[in-house]
Homo-oligomer: A and B are copies of this chain.
Amino acid sequence: MDKVPTIKDVALLAKVHAATASRALNPNTRDMVSARTANRVIEAARTLGYAPNSAARSLRTRTSSVAGVIIPDLRNPMFPPIVRGIEDGLREAGYMALLGNTDGDSERERELLAAMRGRQTDGFILATSRREDPLPAEYGGRPVPTVLINRRSDADLPSVTPDNVMGVHATVALLAGLGHERIAHLAGPQELSTGWERYRAFLDAMAAHNLTVAPSRVAFSAGFTEEAGYRAAVALLDADTTSTAIVAGNDLIALGAYLALHQRGLRCPEDVSVVGFNDMPFLDRQRPALTSVRIPQYEIGTEAARLLLERIDNPTAPAKRVVLPVDVIQRDSTARPR
């Protein structure tokens, strides 16, 4: 046999019509076929090493068992565990993931969505949405099953996010408990839900502790990167030299703050405590080991896969918004103020 076997070959060997073979091979239609012929067909398929041609199946059924996963950049340590979780979650349902990176470029995102849709992708998991995105969630008049992760948009779409509000409240509570009163915030980009939610939560948490937030104690980072975080931290330290603690929008921003503090001759945690968010890998090896909010990255992935499969199954069900619990991991970057 030097040719890939088709369903016709299987049918021939099992002495049935191709249509019957199809019914026997497909679990959903198997009970339209007598058990005896079903077994004969399955046996024939096995001996031939038959594997269905998914292009033909896709063409016919307009489904592909492939999901598109679009993220900003796989090299951001946030994403590998999430993507791994997605892959594992999809696998159980026989789905596979097509991966694409946008580098935050929405033009690129549009291209990727188009290219993936052309490949009959059954649905999308997007980690790239902006807060006010016009949702790209339909195609040819039909909604395309879509789940947002990490970030949310205004659109009424299912999402899986870490509990940003609780996370920030917990960090502020930790710092306040240590005796800090002049707490600064290095906020992430406000057009992203993560940056925005954490900033709002910071204001709220400070108020809850009866602490005031001087405008000079908030700086906005242009991105969730160490580089942008460094620049924001420099701006913060230029505007205000009295803060004893910094709540950073994420870990990379916090690491940028480490740099800026070091340059000013300020020590962490002796002079300034710093807290990150996400608890990305190897934070425990930083100097000092960074206190951060651990988010269940792998579970974000598996949960997103689950939601997407649900959505594919029933595209009009109400959009669930799953919020996963977080923990503060206390390390060496937080201490009492002097």
Contact = CB atoms under 8 A, between A and B. Distances in A.
Contacts of A58: 55, 58
Nearest to A115: B96
B81 A118 contact: no
Given A4-B139, A55-B58, A64-B55, A99 B77 contact: no
A120 B87 CA distance: 19
Contact of A99 (B97, B119, B139): B97
Q: Which of A96, A98, A101, A141 lies at the interface centre, i.e. has the most chain B CB atoms within 10 A of its CB?
A: A96
A3 interface: yes
Contact of A51 (B4, B52, B118): B118
Nearest to A5: B140
B80 A75 contact: yes
B141 A51 contact: no
B2 A77 contact: no
A287 interface: yes
Contacts of A98: 66, 96-99
B77 A84 contact: no
A66 B99 CA distance: 11
Contact of A114 (B1, B51, B83): B51
A36 interface: no
Nearest to A59: B55
Nearest to A116: B96
Contact of A281 (B59, B77, B101): B77
Contact of A117 (B1, B51, B100): B51
| Chain A interface, DSSP helix/strand/loop, else mixed | mixed
Interface in A72-119: 73-75, 77, 79-81, 83-84, 87-88, 94, 96-101, 114-119
B100 A96 contact: yes
Contacts of A94: 115
Given A74-B84, A83-B99, A99-B83, A120 B282 contact: no
A26 interface: no
B66 A141 contact: no
A118 B53 contact: yes
A285 interface: yes
A120 B54 contact: yes
Contacts of A120: 53-55
A286 interface: yes
Contact of A59 (B4, B59, B80, B115): B59
A139 B1 CA distance: 11
Contacts of A84: 73-75, 101
18 contacts: A2-B140, A51-B114, A51-B117, A55-B59, A55-B64, A55-B119, A56-B59, A73-B84, A74-B74, A74-B80, A74-B81, A75-B80, A79-B80, A84-B101, A98-B98, A98-B99, A281-B282, A285-B287
Given A51-B117, A55-B56, A55-B119, 15 more contacts: A51-B118, A54-B119, A55-B120, A56-B59, A59-B59, A66-B98, A66-B119, A74-B80, A75-B84, A83-B99, A87-B100, A87-B101, A96-B116, A97-B99, A282-B286
